[in-house]
Structure 1
Amino acid sequence: MRERGLIGRGTYILLFNSLGELCVHRRTLSKAIYPGYWDVAAGGMVQADESYAASAARELEEELGVSGVPLQAHEHFFFDQPGNRLWCAVFSAVWDGPLKLQPEEVLEARFMPIAEVLQEAEHNPWCPDSLAALKRYLKQIENEQ
């Protein structure tokens, strides 16, 4: 899909702990896009017969081993970068349990304060699409207060 310049659908799940820290993870070096980059969201491509919500639940369980948590839906947006054009849906969840990382996709994961994540993203390779999702989420939360 990316090779042909087609537009896909993707989900971004921001996973927080009860302290408000965000789960970040490092992508494997075998990933087709952004290999080895840090990522602020679990997620992936929505399958043809799948809703955004079903995709979000599936991806969260596949990548981080988190299931059965309520997913809060946030906004949809369009992300457009050469080789990565997506209609995106943002979700969030809270989880204090253990993570079970999918070794094919995730090298390591940890929870970090959001301010530290944003500071790190200025100096190190982080996935731009999920950073866009996080920034839109933060703006939405700020506007709701």
Structure 2
Amino acid sequence: MDEVVSIYDAHGNPVGEAPRTRVYAEGLWHASAGVLLRSLDGTRIYVHRRAPDKAVFASMYDCLAGGVVDPGETPEVTARRELAEELGVTGVDLTPIARVSWDGTWDGAPLRCHLYAFEAHYDGPVHHQASEITDGWWWTEGELRRHLQDPEWPFVPDTRALLENYFD
């Protein structure tokens, strides 16, 4: 069954909904939200590898647990839902940290997305959703920054763009 997601205009306003396959095939503007999970003391960031059968950015690395905004959801609601689904983390405060509009490509097709990032602090257990994540670990900010500076490292490009100035 094809999931229905919210579609947006180029300025970031929700304008309707469409099946996810159509959004990706036609490069329709949509929105996604994710959470950068830090340790309680702020020194470590959770990094994970996406599952190989994901529709976009399969098997790439990411540091945001997130996904597309569903009809009727706000980016914060989406961020909370995705954090719970992908990492099993609930009951944390979310702080907005970044927002960008990304106009890129994936698999030869345009991919246009308004990206919303939040940050949460947490030291409890992490439980991966197997259909979304194959592995994960904690890195220091320095370790993550070194990897992000390597253009050959297979990191999700929209998260890379979203966090471009975050660590400065």
Percentage identity across paired residues of the two chains:
32
Give the structure with the higher percent strand. Answer: 2
Give, in whole Å, the separation in 1 of the partners of 2:63 and 2:160: 7
Give the equivalent residue in structure 2 for 1:143. Answer: none
Matched ranges for 1:125-136 at <5 A: 125-136=154-165
Give, in whole Å, the separation in 2 of the partners of 1:87 and 1:136: 16
Match of 2:47 among 8, 24, 32: 24
Does residue 105 of the first structure (1) align with residue 132 of the second (2)?
Answer: yes
- Unaligned 5+ segments in structure 1 are 140-145
Q: TM-score, normalised by structure 2?
A: 0.78
Q: TM-score, normalised by structure 1?
A: 0.90
Aligned residues: 139
Superposition deviation, residue 86 in structure 1: 0.6
Letter in 1 for 2:163: L
Which is higher, the Rg of structure 1 or of structure 2? Answer: 2
Q: Deviations over 1:74-113 (max 9, x none)?
A: 2321011023211111100001000010000000011101
CA RMSD of aligned residues (A): 1.3
* SS of residue in 2 equivalent to 1:29: coil
Give, in whole Å, the separation in 1 of the partners of 2:58 and 2:112: 17
Superposition deviation, residue 73 in structure 1: 1.4
Match of 2:118 among 91, 108, 111: 91
Give, in whole Å, the separation in 1 of the partners of 2:48 and 2:115: 19
Match of 1:33 among 27, 31, 56: 56
- Unaligned 5+ segments in structure 2 are 1-22
* SS of residue in 2 equivalent to 1:2: helix
